[in-house]
């Protein structure tokens, strides 16, 4: 369909909030604090900030931004003619642009994510003049509208409305919440820039839709703002998508969503408010306000402040000196097994870090090819440390990683330090990184035999890092560009043990989003995703594909359910070379690795046993 030709920009942060459980049929319940690890597809002006905050629009004019949960929701009850009950809660914030705010945000239940013909402004990015009000739209929306549009019968410029198939609301009310203690309504400014929490609940037995809102710091009011009888089964279908849409016009606002919880047949989970991302600090007012007259009192409090700052500064300085002494000591004690190279040696080996020797730039460092002796070729990673902390951490880790030797790891020979630069000297691996073989067409196609061997190689490298012989070391960044291939196309996993870095976009294990901390289990997760990429010859996220194929992991899950796993293989592999049992084994192992719950993922030792066939896969319910 025209999905790929849609002119709107399409970007994704995918993830496995969805793989809630590989074994379950579909995901009917989710809770996202921020959207970094969420299975969310974003369209138009939508983007996800590094903090996890979802921005649907900024304050530019006539924008449309949407974001949808990656899986459709089965809204029809298979046991009756009714729809299912649902409950959702989310936290949004609307920060107006320079003038009055516009236009608003809505929660949407829609049969499709394609709104390419829709208008911004008062159509909220959902409808246009010809589709507005047409019952074949099958769209339910709850709008938070900040502009009074007379042609849409809007009651005011700060209202909440229930919209069925069009933006003329079937029910609406001025934004307010019920204060239980004082038993009265308190009005609420939607575009105040402050976070507002919303609850939307539908009971299919009663056929009642309730909409309740309150400032984020308030508990849920006992009475909803809107309560409307509605037969949802006339609107929804077996597969409807849920998400948000926002639009600006000639008046504009930034529209944000901070968190989202959803559940079918049951109450949506509550947020842990402390886990929600914070909103960007609003820009300072354009005209500086005149400085207030300085009173005597003010002066004395200023003086107090100066004293406090001075005292604090002294402490900080003393602490830094103390720290420096510790670091110095530690360095002196550094007697690790790593060979120390002189800068002179490394510089001449790489021709003075000549551009012609540059292998590439990756993971906060540049790689150079160098020659130490006629037969000793090396790869040098040059890292410029921006902070002393970074440097100390790195040096401490060199000790640990230089002791690790394994044939599927890129081994570290030694290091060198000069000024704020650290050079890591690795063995040179001739065939370059795996991502070029998988995703580019400028390298020979890897056969199935190659791929299976590479997968097992990476697995044994990771298992080794995870503590076969030494203290467990977390890789923190398992991905195709960190796997190199040697002359015989064996996998050599590189770039391990350099602080707890991890990617913040792409395929992050769900718990990473909350904790921000790489673990053995997040490594297993990343390995699972990589394994699928190797078999399928595509990246985990490919925004230009058909919606069901955008997320590789989601697509794989569908494949396993329909018994179609084999057809997901890289089309470039010759059919006759495929060993279907092996492909199926590898992919099912991958699905186990990307399970949402870290405890449910196998350890690398187990993974290797599955892949080597010395242990059989757990009962494979997920084929059903």
Ligand X SMILES: *[C@@H]1O[C@H](CO)[C@@H](O)[C@H](O)[C@H]1NC(C)=O
The site for ligand X (CB under 6 A) is made up of 58-60, 77-79, 81, 84-85, 116-117, 128-131, 134, 136, 173, 178, 184-185, 201, 203, 205-206, 208, 210, 223-225, 227, 231, 233-234, 265
- Considering beta carbons, is residue 163 or 523 the nearer one to ligand X? 163
Q: How far is the CB of 37 from ligand X (least distance, A)?
A: 23
Distance, CA of 187 to CA of 176 (rounded, Å): 4
Q: How far is the CB of 23 from ligand X (least distance, A)?
A: 16
SS3 423: strand
Peptide bond into 103 cis (omega under 30): yes
Q: How far is the CB of 51 from ligand X (least distance, A)?
A: 17
Note every long-range contact of 387-394, with CB atoms under 8 Å and residues 24 or more positions apart, other chains counting. Answer: 388/327, 390/499, 391/420, 391/422, 392/327, 392/330, 392/331, 393/499, 394/422, 394/498, 394/499
Residue nearest to ligand X as judged by C-beta position: 117
CB 398 within 8 A of CB 338: yes
Distance, CA of 369 to CA of 354 (rounded, Å): 9
Q: What angle do CA 170, 174, 175 make, to 5 degrees?
A: 110
Q: How far is the CB of 136 from ligand X (least distance, A)?
A: 4
Q: How far is the CB of 45 from ligand X (least distance, A)?
A: 6
- Considering beta carbons, is residue 60 or 301 the nearer one to ligand X? 60
Q: How far is the CB of 372 from ligand X (least distance, A)?
A: 47
| Neighbour order of strands in the sheet with 64-69 | 10-13, 40-44, 64-69, 241-247, 104-110, 140-145, 159-164, 171-174
Q: How far is the CB of 172 from ligand X (least distance, A)?
A: 10
- Considering beta carbons, is residue 17 or 58 the nearer one to ligand X? 58
- Considering beta carbons, is residue 117 or 219 the nearer one to ligand X? 117
Beta bridge partners of residue 340, listed in sequence order: 415
Distance, CA of 577 to CA of 575 (rounded, Å): 5
Distance, CA of 573 to CA of 538 (rounded, Å): 13
- Considering beta carbons, is residue 225 or 268 the nearer one to ligand X? 225
Cite the beta strand spans of 159-309 per DSSP E: 159-164, 171-174, 176-179, 184-187, 196-203, 208-215, 226-229, 241-247, 253-264
Enter the tokens of residue 52: 């996890």
Q: How far is the CB of 84 from ligand X (least distance, A)?
A: 5
Distance, CA of 26 to CA of 24 (rounded, Å): 6
- Of 473, 452, 496, give the one whose Cα is nearest residue 586: 452
Q: How far is the CB of 219 from ligand X (least distance, A)?
A: 15
- Considering beta carbons, is residue 77 or 490 the nearer one to ligand X? 77
- Considering beta carbons, is residue 127 or 415 the nearer one to ligand X? 127
- Considering beta carbons, is residue 227 or 504 the nearer one to ligand X? 227
* Alpha-carbon radius of gyration of the chain: 28
- Considering beta carbons, is residue 86 or 415 the nearer one to ligand X? 86
For 171, list phi and psi in degrees, rounded to 5.
-155, 135
């Amino acid at each position: 369909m025209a999905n790929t030709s849609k002119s709107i920009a399409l970007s994704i942060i995918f993830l496995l909030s969805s793989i809630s459980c590989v074994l379950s049929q579909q995901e009917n319940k989710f809770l996202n604090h921020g959207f970094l690890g969420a299975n969310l597809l974003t369209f138009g002006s939508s983007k996800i900030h590094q903090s996890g905050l979802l921005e649907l629009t900024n304050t530019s004019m006539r924008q449309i931004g949407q974001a949808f949960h990656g899986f459709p929701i089965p809204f029809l009850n298979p046991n009756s003619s009714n729809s299912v009950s649902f409950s959702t809660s989310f936290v949004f914030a609307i920060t107006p642009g320079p003038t009055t705010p516009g236009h608003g945000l809505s929660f949407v239940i829609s049969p499709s994510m394609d709104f390419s013909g829709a208008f911004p402004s008062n159509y909220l990015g959902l409808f246009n003049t010809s589709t507005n009000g047409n019952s074949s739209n099958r769209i339910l929306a709850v709008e938070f509208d900040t502009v009074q549009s007379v042609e849409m019968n809007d009651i005011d410029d700060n209202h909440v409305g229930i919209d069925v198939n069009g933006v003329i609301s079937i029910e609406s009310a001025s934004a307010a919440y019920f204060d239980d203690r004082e038993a009265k309504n308190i009005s609420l400014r939607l575009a105040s820039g402050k976070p507002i929490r919303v609850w939307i609940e539908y009971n299919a037995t009663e056929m009642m839709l309730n909409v309740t809102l309150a400032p984020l710091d308030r508990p849920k009011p006992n009475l909803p703002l809107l309560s409307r009888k509605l037969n949802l089964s006339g609107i929804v279908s077996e597969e409807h998508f849920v998400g948000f849409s926002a639009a600006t016009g000639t008046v504009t606002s930034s529209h944000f969503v901070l968190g989202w919880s959803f559940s079918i047949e049951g109450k949506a989970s509550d947020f842990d408010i402390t886990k929600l991302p914070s909103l960007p600090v609003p820009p300072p007012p354009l005209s500086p306000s005149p400085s207030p007259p300085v009173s005597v009192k003010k002066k004395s409090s200023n003086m107090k402040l100066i004293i406090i700052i001075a005292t604090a500064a002294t402490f900080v300085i003393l602490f830094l000196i103390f720290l420096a002494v510790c670091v110095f000591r530690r360095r002196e004690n550094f007697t690790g097994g790593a060979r120390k190279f002189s800068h002179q040696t490394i510089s001449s080996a790489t021709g003075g870090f000549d551009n012609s020797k540059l292998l590439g730039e990756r993971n906060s460092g540049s790689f150079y090819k160098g020659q130490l002796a006629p037969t000793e070729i090396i790869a040098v990673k040059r890292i410029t440390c921006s902070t002393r902390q970074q440097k100390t951490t790195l040096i401490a880790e060199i000790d640990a990683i230089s002791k690790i030797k394994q044939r599927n790891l890129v081994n570290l020979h030694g290091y060198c330090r000069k000024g704020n630069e650290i050079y890591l000297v690795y063995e040179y691996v001739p065939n370059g990184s795996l991502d070029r073989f998988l995703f580019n067409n400028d390298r020979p196609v890897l056969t199935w035999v190659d791929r299976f061997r590479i997968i097992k190689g990476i697995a044994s490298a990771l298992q080794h890092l995870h503590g076969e012989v030494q203290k467990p070391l977390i890789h923190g960044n398992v991905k195709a560009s960190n796997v190199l291939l040697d002359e015989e196309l064996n996998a050599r996993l590189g770039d391990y043990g350099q602080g707890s870095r991890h990617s913040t976009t792409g395929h992050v294990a769900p718990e990473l989003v909350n904790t921000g901390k790489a673990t053995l289990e997040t490594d297993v997760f990343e390995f699972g995703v990589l394994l699928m990429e190797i078999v399928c010859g595509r990246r985990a996220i490919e925004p230009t594909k058909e919606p069901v194929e955008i997320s590789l992991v989601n697509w794989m899950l569908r494949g396993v359910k329909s018994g179609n796993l084999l057809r997901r293989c890289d089309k470039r592999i010759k059919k006759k070379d495929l060993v279907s049992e092996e492909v199926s084994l590898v992919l099912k192992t991958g699905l186990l690795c990307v399970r949402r719950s870290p405890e449910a993922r196998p350890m690398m030792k187990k993974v290797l046993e599955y892949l080597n066939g010395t242990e059989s896969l757990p009962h494979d319910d997920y084929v059903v």
